[in-house]
Chain A
Amino acid sequence: MEFLTSLDFSPVWQYRWPLFWGLVETLWMAALAFAIAVPAGLGLALGRIYGGWLVNLPIMAFVDLMRFTPLLVQAVWIHFALPAVTGMNFAATQSAMIALSLHVTAYVCDVMRAGIIAIPKGQGEAARALGMKRRAVFFHVTMPQVWPLVLPPLGNVAVASFKLTTILGILAVDDLMKVTNRISTLTFRTFEFYTTAAVIYLLVGLLLTFAVHRVERRFGASRLERSAARADRASLAAARGAVAAGPRTVEPPPDR
Chain B
Amino acid sequence: MDFQFDIILRYLPDLLQGVRMTLIAFFTALAIGLPIGMTLCVLRVGKSRGLGRAAAVYTTVFRTIPEVVLIFWMFYCLPPLVGGTVSGLWAGSLALGLISGAFLAEIFRGGVQSIPRGQWEAATALALPRVTIWRRIIVPQAARLAIPPFINHLTELMKGTTLLATIGVADLALKSYVLGAQTFRYFEFLTAIALLYFIIIFPVARFAEYVERRLAVATR
Q: Are B177 and A84 in touch, CB under 8 angstroms?
A: no
Interfacial chain A residues near B65, Cβ < 8 Å: 198, 201-202, 205
Stretch with Cβ within 8 A of B (4 or more), from A14-22, A71-79, A112-120, A139-147: A71-79
- Inter-chain CB contacts under 8 Å: number: 136
Within 8 A of B (CB), among A162-212: 162-167, 169-170, 177, 180-181, 184, 190-191, 194-195, 197-198, 201-202, 205-206, 209
Interface 0/1 of B48-71, CB less than 8 Å to A: 000000000000110011111110
Report the minimal beta-carbon distance from A185 to chain B, rounded to whole angstroms: 10
A254 to B76, CA, bound (A): 55
- Name B186's contact: one of A64, A80, A206, A241 (CB within 8 Å): A80
- Name B64's contact: one of A70, A71, A184, A202 (CB within 8 Å): A202
A interface secondary structure, majority: helix
A64 to B194, CA, bound (A): 12
Stretch with Cβ within 8 A of A (4 or more), from B12-20, B28-36, B124-132, B159-167: B159-167
- Name A73's contact: one of B162, B186, B217, B220 (CB within 8 Å): B162
Q: Are B194 and A73 in touch, CB under 8 angstroms?
A: yes
Q: Does B9 count as interface, using CB distance less than 8 angstroms?
A: no
Interfacial chain A residues near B61, Cβ < 8 Å: 202
Report the minimal beta-carbon distance from B133 to chain A, rounded to whole angstroms: 16
Question: 22 A-B Cβ contacts within 8 A?
Answer: A68-B197, A68-B201, A68-B202, A70-B163, A72-B163, A73-B162, A73-B194, A73-B197, A76-B173, A80-B187, A80-B190, A163-B66, A166-B68, A169-B68, A177-B69, A177-B72, A190-B77, A202-B61, A205-B64, A206-B60, A250-B219, A253-B214
Residues of B within 8 A of A (CB): 1, 60-61, 64-70, 72-73, 76-77, 80-81, 83, 114-116, 118, 141, 144, 155, 159-160, 162-163, 165-166, 173, 177, 180, 186-187, 190-191, 193-194, 197-198, 201-202, 205, 214, 217-220
Besides the known contacts A194-B72, A202-B61, A206-B60, 9 further A-B residue pairs in the complex with CB atoms under 8 A apart: A65-B198, A69-B201, A70-B162, A76-B190, A190-B76, A205-B64, A205-B65, A250-B220, A253-B214
